[in-house]
């Protein structure tokens, strides 16, 4: 029987061409958006793999139950905490697209870090008021510690850039080891040590039941009073009210926020419960760290590469565990 990959979302012609090229004749790509109701059900029933964006939106009521033969449900995004995974067949492995957007996100994290360390927004605002603070000191990154909370694709890509800036890399992942060079690496049990050592803390860990509200008042209190915190992951990993209070109490502490607590894609709106953007020690961006030309095609190719592993009998990468699927 011919292998098929059922694509649940709308894909433009150039990206369809990229998918066909990426699968390399190992399977036929079938697009649900091209089919009638009966065709959609048949495609899901017979698919060897499913390529999805958000099954809660892409699939119609009851369609998930038609998935019977799939050996993998592969998502195109790295973070899939907003997807109703409990609505998918329990026996089918689910994989995120881990590391798909690591390159541009790492650059964005570096840019935010430099903007904070060099006081760029603060001094631009001062210049607009006619203040020329030439001798107010900013900071060097070289020789300082960059702590990375979540040493997967994004964390590793960020570490390489930060190392090029002369920073020492401290990191945490679940296993406490990595093939990527670090000056120190630990497990989640070593979080306090990472926080205390970091001059810059990059948050790049997935949102799971274990990481939700992970960083609160106690954890922030362990950090240096002039540390720079950069959140590239999910807002919910850091407790909103304690972070705002910490920023107010420590004016030399910076928060660079790309990932917010309530965002349009995941929640239908943008909202903050505290006026972060009124603080001079906050730099914000609209979760656009991965929004660069060519990244959609690159992400699709990476997702298909994981599907190819299944088709050749290899174990896919970035498969969610039972606890993550419950989140």
Q: Which residues are catalytic?
A: 234, 263, 287
In whole angstroms, what is the distance from residue 65 CA to residue 168 CA?
A: 49
d(CA 13, CA 239): 42
Query: Is residue 304 within 8 Å of residue 81, measured between CB atoms?
Result: no
- Joined together, the tokens standing for residue 118 give 């060099």
Bridge partner list, 88: none
Q: In whole angstroms, what is the distance from residue 188 CA to residue 72 CA? A: 29
Which helix or strand (DSSP H or E) is residue 322 part of?
Answer: helix 322-326
Q: Is 185 helix (H, G, I), strand (E, B) or coil?
A: strand
Strand order of the β-sheet with 4-7 is 28-31, 4-7, 49-52, 72-75, 94-95
Residues near 242 by Cβ (< 8 Å), separated by ≥ 6? Answer: 216, 217, 220
């Amino acid at each position: 029987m011919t292998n098929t990959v059922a694509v649940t979302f709308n894909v433009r012609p150039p990206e369809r061409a990229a998918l066909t090229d990426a699968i390399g004749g190992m399977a036929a790509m079938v697009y649900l958006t091209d089919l009638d109701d009966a065709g959609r059900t048949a495609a899901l029933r017979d698919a060897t793999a499913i390529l999805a964006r958000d099954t809660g939106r892409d699939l119609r009521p009851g369609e998930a139950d038609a998935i019977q033969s799939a050996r993998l449900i592969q998502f195109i995004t790295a973070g899939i905490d907003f997807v109703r995974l409990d609505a998918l067949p329990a026996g089918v492995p689910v994989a995120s697209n881990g590391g798909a957007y690591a390159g541009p996100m790492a650059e964005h994290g570096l840019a935010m870090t430099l903007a904070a360390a060099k006081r760029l927004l603060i001094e631009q605002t001062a210049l607009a008021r006619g203040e020329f603070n030439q001798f107010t000191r900013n900071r060097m990154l070289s020789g300082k510690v960059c702590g990375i909370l979540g040493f997967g694709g994004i964390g590793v890509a960020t570490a390489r850039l930060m190392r090029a800036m002369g920073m020492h890399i401290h990191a945490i992942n679940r296993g406490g080891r990595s093939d990527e060079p670090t000056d120190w690496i630990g497990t989640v049990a070593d979080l306090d040590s990472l926080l205390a050592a970091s001059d810059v803390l990059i948050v790049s860990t997935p949102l799971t039941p274990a990481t939700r509200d992970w960083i609160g008042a106690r954890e922030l209190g362990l950090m240096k009073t002039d540390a720079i915190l950069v959140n590239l992951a999910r807002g919910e990993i850091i407790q909103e009210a304690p972070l705002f209070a910490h920023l107010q109490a420590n004016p030399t502490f910076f928060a660079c926020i790309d990932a917010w607590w309530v965002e349009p894609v995941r929640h239908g709106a943008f909202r903050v419960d505290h006026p972060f953007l009124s603080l001079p020690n906050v730099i914000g961006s609209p979760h656009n760290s991965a929004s660069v030309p060519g990244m959609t095609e690159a992400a699709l190719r990476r997702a298909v590469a994981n599907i190819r592993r299944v088709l050749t009998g290899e174990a896919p990468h970035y498969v969610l565990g039972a606890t993550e699927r419950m989140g």
